[in-house]
Amino acid sequence: VCAAGLSYSLSQVSAARQKHTLPDLMYDYGALQPHICAEIMQLHHSKHHATYVNNLNVTEEKYHEALAKGDVTAQVALQPALKFNGGGHINHTIFWSNLSPNGGGEPQGELMEAIKRDFGSFQSMKDRMSAATVAVQGSGWGWLGFNKDSGRLRIAACANQDPLQGTTGLIPLLGIDVWEHAYYLQYKNVRPDYVKAIWNVINWENVSDRLKAAHK
Amino acid sequence: MVLSEGAVEVHFSRAASTSSGVGGALVIALRELCPAPGSTRINMLCRALQIRRCAAGLSYSLSQVSAARQKHTLPDLMYDYGALQPHICAEIMQLHHSKHHATYVNNLNVTEEKYHEALAKGDVTAQVALQPALKFNGGGHINHTIFWSNLSPNGGGEPQGELMEAIKRDFGSFQSMKDRMSAATVAVQGSGWGWLGFNKDSGRLRIAACANQDPLQGTTGLIPLLGIDVWEHAYYLQYKNVRPDYVKAIWNVINWENVSDRLKAAHK
């Protein structure tokens, strides 16, 4: 009786452990206006990100089964869905924390020093990151990342939902989503205006925290 | 191939572009610059002068012709922006055509200009560096040009004749083709297109999907018959995140005559 109960409890624990959940925002959907409108935030969080979370859970469930059977073919077949939905979940979780209604302005301390060291100036970093982000062909993200080996900040862009760390090794500090769903309702085809506006809501404390954590 | 608008308008066939085609251009340019001379010695002298002037003018005309030849242009729609409502709203059509497609055309022309220079210098590195922009903007222009013709306010329903027979042969039924193409199109990760294409080698219809603006024929060899754009700009203002609803609705405005014409042309 005990063993059966234990087995059941373990399966409950392992089932519970695998489930990813949609994180709550630290601010209202309308809090980033006029830079990002409420309708975008609501759809982006409660529909797009939520879908990645749900599909990630489904994919991990299937992957668990394939792994248990040692079925390599099935595992490989699941890779695109894992990267797409898993990357979508990772990226958006970082993104919501990168934004704040009290954001904008300039970073301070260690992060500012690193930016000046690796880009010459804060404005130079902004210009280069904006350019790389606007230039993404199709759907993707612009990133400010940290290279642990060199100890340097780097700007990068990834396609679709490819997660920065998993695909490049860079630690993600700040991401700008340029999938059209991130801006189209408000900015239409004028992606550069969106990228220009988003600097007004960047949460530099969060970006700094990520840099500190990356050092450890 | 017809040159785009400009002072010189010349018609010549693709196949003969470097011989009789350019010869055709030469004839027109010559006619403009060098009127037929008379037969006297004075006229022969005048003719020598005319030839020199003619050559200079000809060189200028040829550069005009070649410059004009490279320019792509935004095709007009055969219907108003609001004509596909309620399936695709007017605001989407206007932005999609006059902003997105127009940008691909402009950037394609710029890229081809740069490529022309790199090619002239034999600079391989520069050519390779230009490839992504060429594929992206060139593909965007090709894809959207096909797309606008694939749609019509009088569209929808079912195809007939050869196209319908081919669909039944290769998919079992029209509904089966629609279901499979819809599924493949909805499943595109990120930006891209769903396609009904024709494989010339096997003579069969095929469903395919391409990422971003990768053109179907250039990347897979399949001849494009019908494309469904699932970049978010194609539907988001109206359908938001619900791509399946957009893909379901677009079947109401598919111009099956155009798709049939493309299949016929693919056979040749």
CA-nearest residue to B137 within chain A is A137
Query: SS3 helix, strand, coil % of chain B, rounded to 5?
Result: 60, 10, 30
Chain B positions with Cβ closer than 8 Å to A = 95, 99-100, 103, 132, 136, 189-192, 211-213, 231-233, 236-237, 240-241
Contacts of B236 in chain A (CB under 8 A): 180-181, 184-185
Q: What whole-number percentage of chain B has pLDDT above 90?
A: 71
Q: CA A94, CA A176: separation in Å to the nearest integer?
A: 10
Task: Using the CB atoms, write b or e for B150-161: b if 16+ within 10 Å.
Answer: bbbbebeeebee
The verdict on whether residue A48 carries a ligand-binding annotation is: no
pLDDT tens-digit readout, B194-230: 999 999 999 999 999 999 999 999 999 999 999 999 9
Write down the pLDDT at residue A5: 55
User: Cβ separation of A189 and B213 shorter than 8 Å?
Assistant: no
CA atoms within 13 A on the CB side of A7: 4
Q: Mean pLDDT, to the nearest integer, of A96-120?
A: 98
Q: Mean pLDDT, to the nearest integer, of A125-136?
A: 98
Residue A170 sits at the vertex; the CA angle it makes with A166 and A173, to the nearest 5 degrees, is: 110
Q: Mean pLDDT, to the nearest integer, of B45-61?
A: 57
User: Cβ separation of B190 and A160 shorter than 8 Å?
Assistant: yes
| Residue of higher predicted confidence among B234 and B28 | B234
Tell me which residue in B136, B189, B233 faces A137 most closely, judged by beta carbons.
B136
Tell me which residue in B103, B132, B190 faces A139 most closely, judged by beta carbons.
B190
Question: Is the confidence at residue B33, as pLDDT, over 60?
Answer: no
Q: If pLDDT is split at 50, 70 and 90, which confidence band does B54 have?
A: low
The verdict on whether residue A44 carries a ligand-binding annotation is: yes
Most B-contacting residue of A40, A188, A191 (CB-CB within 10 A), to test interface:
A188
Q: In angstroms, how far is the first alpha carbon of chain B from the final one? A: 18
Q: Mean pLDDT, to the nearest integer, of A189-196?
A: 98
**A145: three-class secondary structure by DSSP:** strand
Write down the pLDDT at residue B40: 58
Question: Is the confidence at residue B246, as pLDDT, over 80?
Answer: yes
Write down the pLDDT at residue B5: 35
Give the minimum alpha-carbon distance from A19 to chain B in angstroms, rounded to a whole number.
Answer: 23
Nearest in space to B75 (alpha carbons), one of B109, B98, B108, B91? B98
Q: Mean pLDDT, to the nearest integer, of A2-24?
A: 64
CA atoms within 13 A on the CB side of B110: 9
Write down the pLDDT at residue B122: 87
Nearest in space to A174 (alpha carbons), one of A118, A130, A120, A116? A130
**B126: three-class secondary structure by DSSP:** helix
Tokens representing residue B195 in the block: 């396609």
Question: Is the confidence at residue B42, as pLDDT, over 60?
Answer: no
User: Cβ separation of B232 and A80 shorter than 8 Å?
Assistant: no
What's chain B's average pLDDT? 83
Write down the pLDDT at residue A70: 87
Tell me which residue in B95, B189, B213 faces A80 most closely, judged by beta carbons.
B189
Nearest in space to B195 (alpha carbons), one of B174, B175, B211, B171? B211
User: Cβ separation of B240 and A43 shorter than 8 Å?
Assistant: yes
Q: If pLDDT is split at 50, 70 and 90, which confidence band does A107 have?
A: very high
Q: If pLDDT is split at 50, 70 and 90, which confidence band does A216 have?
A: confident
Chain A positions with Cβ closer than 8 Å to B = 43, 47-48, 51, 80, 84, 137-140, 159-161, 179-181, 184-185, 188-189
The verdict on whether residue A181 carries a ligand-binding annotation is: yes
Tell me which residue in A160, A161, A180 faces B236 most closely, judged by beta carbons.
A180
Asked if residue B210 lies in contact with residue B192, where contact means CB atoms within 8 angstroms, the answer is: yes
For chains A and B, what is the number of CB pairs under 8 angstroms?
51
Q: CA A174, CA A166: separation in Å to the nearest integer?
A: 15
Q: If pLDDT is split at 50, 70 and 90, which confidence band does B60 have?
A: low
Question: Is the confidence at residue B7, as pLDDT, over 60?
Answer: no
CA-nearest residue to B136 within chain A is A137
Write down the pLDDT at residue B48: 56
Q: If pLDDT is split at 50, 70 and 90, which confidence band does B34 have?
A: very low
Write down the pLDDT at residue B35: 44
Contacts of B213 in chain A (CB under 8 A): 137-138
Tokens representing residue A167 in the block: 């695909």
Distances (CA, A) of B63 to A100, B54, B59, B68, B222: 56, 14, 6, 8, 35
Contacts of B241 in chain A (CB under 8 A): 43, 47-48, 51, 181
What's chain A's average pLDDT? 93
**Range scoring the smallest mean pLDDT among A85-99, A123-137, B57-71:** B57-71
Most A-contacting residue of B89, B105, B111, B240 (CB-CB within 10 A), to test interface:
B240
Most A-contacting residue of B92, B96, B232, B238 (CB-CB within 10 A), to test interface:
B232
Give the minimum alpha-carbon distance from B191 to chain A in angstroms, rounded to a whole number.
Answer: 5
Q: Mean pLDDT, to the nearest integer, of B227-246?
A: 98
Q: Mean pLDDT, to the nearest integer, of A30-41?
A: 98
Q: If pLDDT is split at 50, 70 and 90, which confidence band does A1 have?
A: low
pLDDT tens-digit readout, B64-107: 545 545 599 999 999 999 999 999 999 999 999 999 999 999 99
Q: If pLDDT is split at 50, 70 and 90, which confidence band does A67 have?
A: confident
Write down the pLDDT at residue B25: 39
Tokens representing residue A61 in the block: 């469930």
Write down the pLDDT at residue B49: 56
Write down the pLDDT at residue A106: 98
Q: If pLDDT is split at 50, 70 and 90, which confidence band does B119 have?
A: confident
pLDDT tens-digit readout, B128-176: 999 999 999 999 999 999 999 999 999 999 999 999 999 999 999 999 9
What is the phi/psi pair of residue B13, to 5°?
-80, 150
